Amino acid sequence: MKRALAVLALACLLVGCGSDGVFIISFTSGTIAGDPTCRTNGGQFDLRDQGGLVLLVILTSSTQIVVGSSHGTCKDLSPNAAVTVHGPRQGDRITAQSVQVQ
């Protein structure tokens, strides 16, 4: 945890934090709110975080989805599933590098 905070602090010094156009790589946990929309090269779903905030999660063709210990796809995601999402966040949108289904 200390290392992650140090990296974040360094990133803030180099590119700035809180200004428009800057994104932060983050881990966000919560539940899938509603049905995911799946496409051939990705998809999207709403994520309700632990504080009740709803974020839009964008899935790309390179997003890794893990269900248990197996590789998954967007079609393996379902409403109310507990997930952890890792990826750059801009405002209320996360472009997922990985999604781990709990």
pLDDT for residue 17:
53
Tell me the whole-structure pTM to 2 decimals: 0.76
Nearest to 56 by CA among 84, 25, 27, 90: 90
Within 8 A by CB and 6+ apart from 7, the residues are none
27 contacts 92 by C-beta, under 8 angstroms: no
pLDDT reading at 76 higher than 60: yes
Phi, psi of 22 (to 5 degrees): -100, 135
pLDDT reading at 3 higher than 60: no
- The ranges assigned to domains in the chain are 21-101
* pLDDT average, residue stretch 75-80: 96
Domain 21-101, CATH homologous superfamily name and number: Nucleic acid-binding proteins (2.40.50.140)
Q: What is the pLDDT of residues 7-65, one digit of tens each?
A: 444 455 444 455 455 556 678 999 999 999 999 999 999 999 989 999 999 999 999 99
pLDDT for residue 23:
55
